[in-house]
Amino acid sequence: MDFAIALGIGVILDFVFGDPRGMPHLVRLVGALAVKGEQFLVRSLGRSIFAGAILWLGITAICTGGYLLLSWGAEMVGHWLKLLIDGLLLFQCIAYRDLVKHVVAVKLGLDRSLAEGRQRVSWIVGRDTERMEEEDVCRAAIESGAENLNDAVIAPLFWFALFGPMGALVFRVSNTMDAMVGHRTERFEKLGKVSARIDDVLNVIPARLCCMLVLKLGEARRWRRLKSDATLHPSFNAGWPEAAMAKRLGVVIGGRMYEKGELVQTAEMNRGARQPIRKDVVRATRIMGIAYAKCLALVLAGWAFASML
């Protein structure tokens, strides 16, 4: 029952509290360690791939070692405290409530004005938002929601199901490291390569699972048909949940966007469909909730099956 109890604690805490800004958080810890680690390693090893490997290994070792030590200490006090620690860890590895809140905030911002919608979407995407039209804002919110559904929900639950709290922890550390240093810029091209590649590997299965969960039950078996769209995305994995969301909503994802002040035309997924509107942003969050519920059902079914063996 330990697995189910820790899962229940983590999911309920996330659903009720989201990401309380005042409490210590794993993601903020990894971010702080990445900044300090970069400063130290660059001075001694330069911006090399080797330095990036040491950075990933060091931060992962600190976080997993800290968890093991805390878990051991909790077990000495009582098994109930160990379960609470495991649940709290999962709570910090998933972010469903905050994900939905930020996507819905874009729609609510658009209800007030285009300027506010642009501002809200700038909180969840890295592209320029100042010259976005309403359909661009809606499209960006849907894209971000679909991609982060995998990173913030499906993937950590997948690794938790396979390896327990340690699996979710290693994924969250790796994903945060990728967000911090896994950029193709002069500063991070080499230093972040290891973190980016590890995150790619850890997301191979979850991203495709997320794609199937986003689709309707009758369509899930045809998820491979989305490959032509999914491979249009620059990311090896992010295209799968985005392509599935575009198909499910019946809208276009991709197309025009502004980067560094320049208009860029990216490849379109579900080409020929209509442009998204505000209502589609809300529909996307409902689909995300259904996908989350299906994922939890799969995790619990897998746990029940394993318990009977």
Dihedral angle sign, alpha carbons of residues 13, 17, 23, 24: positive
Six-digit token string for 307: 């318990």
pTM of the model: 0.94
Could you give the CA distance from residue 136 to residue 141 in angstroms, rounded to a whole number? Answer: 9
pLDDT tens digit sequence for 7-50: 999 999 999 998 877 778 899 999 999 999 999 999 999 999 99
Check: CB of residue 269 under 8 Å from CB of residue 239.
yes
Contacts of 228 (CB under 8 A, 6+ apart): none
Q: Provide the pLDDT for residue 256.
A: 83
Confidence of residue 254 (pLDDT cuts 50, 70, 90): confident
pLDDT tens digit sequence for 171-223: 999 999 999 998 888 899 999 999 999 999 999 999 999 999 999 988 877 78
**pLDDT of 136 over the 90 cut:** yes
What is the DSSP code string of 152-189?
IIIHHHHHHHHHHHHHHHHHHHHHHHHHHH---STTTT
**pLDDT of 261 over the 80 cut:** no
**pLDDT of 145 over the 90 cut:** yes
Six-digit token string for 288: 């995300």
Q: Provide the pLDDT for residue 211.
A: 96
Check: CB of residue 172 under 8 Å from CB of residue 93.
yes
CA contacts within 13 A on the Cβ side of 32:
8
Burial (CB count <10 Å: 0-12, 13-18, 19+), residue 277: middle
Confidence of residue 158 (pLDDT cuts 50, 70, 90): very high
Check: CB of residue 215 under 8 Å from CB of residue 247.
yes
Check: CB of residue 27 under 8 Å from CB of residue 176.
yes
Q: Provide the pLDDT for residue 306.
A: 87
Mean pLDDT of 110-136: 92
